[in-house]
Amino acid sequence: MNMQTALSTLGVTETTLTAAEKQQLDERGYLPLPDLLSPAQVAALRARYKELMREEGDEAGLEVHQEAGTERLANLVDKDPLFTICFTHPRVLAAMNHVLQGDFKLSSLNGRAALPGEGHQALHADWSEGVDPRNYQVCNSIWLLVDFTLENGATRIVPASHRTGQVPQNALEDPRATHPDEALLTGTAGTVVIFNSHLWHGGTVNRTDSTRYALHSYFTRRGHAPQTNFRALVSDAALARLSPEARFILAV
């Protein structure tokens, strides 16, 4: 198996993303893809999220990360075939292929739900240091399981900050403060937002009385250790239900 074969079999072609979409990823660092999930898929994924939170309780998210003020889930590859779409959808894979130049794998598939009154994060990048724009190492996707609004904790980003070669903790006096150039990633449930993970980003406060649900499928170059150790944490039964191409994207 190689990347070209895997992507082709999973439905990725040269035209899966338009030239304008690729240009936005290059220049702005993010790309909303509306309606990648149907309303029925959104409802099923959101219901499964809530069910897993009830099942896992205080252990939820421990495989990767827990965060005060949020309901975190991790290792979703192992937990339900519903989540397979999050690392096999051709539009998402085409975006990862473009940003990471044909050298990528899934690093983690997690959930983050901001609770009412919570969810604010400092601006950060998902890499410890700035990189040359020709050498990006990580790229992420946010799967909106509810509408992201100005009020419910939508992710903030600083457009084009991925091209600065800097990380916010070194460039900003206070990464938790509002940035003059920041924008909020709002959109309807079923949208997937691709963002170059060197882009400065962070959650905002959920000022509503409802939990704001999202999934993150996060990709890295194949030479890096994944955020989730799939070889150790994904069961044989879960791997057996995946196609060879999906397993190649997991690098297992």
For position 54, what pLDDT does the model report?
A: 98
Give mean pLDDT, residues 73-89. 98
**Structural tokens at position 33:** 């893809």
Residues 6+ apart with CB under 8 A from 61: 67, 71, 72, 73, 74, 110, 111
pLDDT band at 134 (very low <50, low <70, confident <90, very high): confident
SS3 145: coil
Boundaries of domain holding 158: 3-250
Residue 72 CA to residue 121 CA, distance in Å, equals 14
For position 224, what pLDDT does the model report?
A: 98
CATH code, 224: 2.60.120.620
pLDDT, tens digit, 9 for 90 and up, residues 174-191: 999 999 999 999 999 999
Entry pTM: 0.97
For position 133, what pLDDT does the model report?
A: 87
- Please tell me the total count of domains within the chain: 1
The residue behind tokens 């897993």 is 52
